[in-house]
Amino acid sequence: MVLGVDVGGTKVAVAAVEGVTATHAAEHPTVTVSADALLDGVEQLVRSVIAEAGEPEAIGVGVPSQIEFATGTVETSVNIPLVGVPLREELGGRFGIPVFVDNDANCAALAEAHIVGESHLLMLTLGTGVGGGVVIDGLTFRGAHGLGAELGHIAVNPDGPSCPGNCPNRGCLESYCSGQALERDATELATDKPDSALATRRGPEGKVSAREVVAAADAGDPDALVLMENFARMLGIGIANYVNVFEPARLAIGGGLSRASHLFFDRAVQEAEARALPALWKRVSVTLAEGGADAGVIGAGVLAALEIERDRDTGPAKATTSKGIE
């Protein structure tokens, strides 16, 4: 048994994980005042799960940040105050067992691959931004230092809008297929067309949220449907690119925006089919993600289980330094 920890911008979730089954799940709000306070909160929650579930062999942690994998050091992070913190050492010292840390989208992709039993899988997570992960032979592809694969930051239009992420590029997939992108376009449209249905959906700050765009499209509003058509087309272009590079057996779409998949999924697949190399396309299945709300903790748990298995084969990973528990 291992523990999976999913650190989100608003909540931390912890569960005992065996295979792809999570039990003894617990969660609490993320404390964001300081790194120490956040880690204290994680420690408290982990200890409460250990008290119920028993001592784990290792702990896997998913964080919404760029992670240098060897040390689990957070390189950049939008929502949580952990930049520069070597999480493997910090948490390994607190618990005295191996700790492994990865980007949350990598964990989600790993969970999906193991839940559906597919060893070559690519997953896109469509939410506020666009995240993603690539699983090859059942293991996460991370690049040389663990900072890959940033699937949201491929340009699908060289002259497109500035990327809303922590990214200097323009026309990234995240510039089109994210909640932030929908909000930007809908707000601009509402400003240009004050008599439009979208203009009536502006919030207190004058912005039209992605949720309102989806609601307007569901109500048949032609402006919102045009925004969703653009979203779907750009997503299809991205999917074709990923299929051509990675040739996954399965490409899964998850994240909060996937709940609005009836507004973009079929159109995105149609666009991808028209663009991907036929020999690769006919072998891939594009689906919605099957992992549910606990996919984050399951993916972190699968990560820990895979890493201790690898350590048994090759000796302990050098980056796991344990200060012991005083």
Q: Are 224 and 186 in contact (CB under 8 A)?
A: yes
Candidates 92-100, 106-114, 168-176, 193-201; binding stretch for Zn ion (CB under 5 A): 168-176
Contact flags string 99-138 toward Zn ion, x per CB under 5 A = ----------------------------------------
Which CB sits closer to Zn ion, 139 or 155?
Answer: 155
User: With binding defined as CB under 5 A, does residue 234 bind Zn ion?
Assistant: no
Q: Which one, of 258, 246, 248, 249, lies nearest residue 291 by Cα?
A: 258
Going by C-beta distance under 8 Å and a sequence separation of 6 or more, which residues neighbour residue 53? 1, 3, 16, 23, 24
Instruction: CB nearer to Zn ion: give 157 or 169.
Output: 169
Identity of the amino acid at 39: L
Burial label, 191 (beta-carbon count in 10 A; 0-12, 13-18, 19+): middle
For residues 147 and 75, is the Cβ–Cβ distance under 8 A?
A: yes
The nearest distance, CB 4 to Zn ion, in angstroms, is: 28
Distance, CA of 109 to CA of 113 (rounded, Å) = 6
Own/partner contacts of 72-78, CB < 8 Å, gap of 24 or more, are 72/99, 72/100, 72/101, 72/319, 75/147, 76/166, 78/9, 78/166
Q: What is the CA radius of gyration of the chain?
A: 20
Q: Residue 149, SS3?
A: coil
Which of 153, 201, 233, 250 binds Zn ion (CB under 5 A)? It is 153
Near Zn ion by CB under 5 A: residue from 25, 116, 139, 167: 167
Which of 119, 169, 180, 209 contacts Zn ion by CB under 5 A? 169
Using CB under 5 A, which of 121, 172, 252, 269 touches Zn ion? 172
SS3 206: coil
CA dist list (Å): 48 to 13, 19, 55, 94? 12, 21, 11, 14
101 touches 89 (CB < 8 A): no
Q: Which of 122, 163, 260, 298 binds Zn ion (CB under 5 A)?
A: 163
Query: Which tokens belong to 175?
Result: 């510039």
Nearer to Zn ion, 71 or 178 (CB): 178
Q: What is the x/- site pattern for Zn ion, positions 51-90, by CB under 5 A?
A: ----------------------------------------
* Smallest separation, CB 158 to Zn ion (Å): 12
Q: Which is nearer to Zn ion, 181 or 305 (CB)?
A: 181
**Which window, 63-71, 166-174, 196-204, 272-280, contacts Zn ion (CB under 5 A)?**
166-174
Q: Binding string to Zn ion for residues 191 to 220, with x set by CB under 5 A, is what?
A: ------------------------------
Binding residues for Zn ion, rule CB under 5 A, total 6
Our CB check for Zn ion shows the closer of 93 and 160 to be: 160
Nearer to Zn ion among residue 154 and residue 240 (C-beta): 154
- Which spans of this chain sit near Zn ion (rule: CB under 5 A)? 153, 163, 165, 167, 169, 172
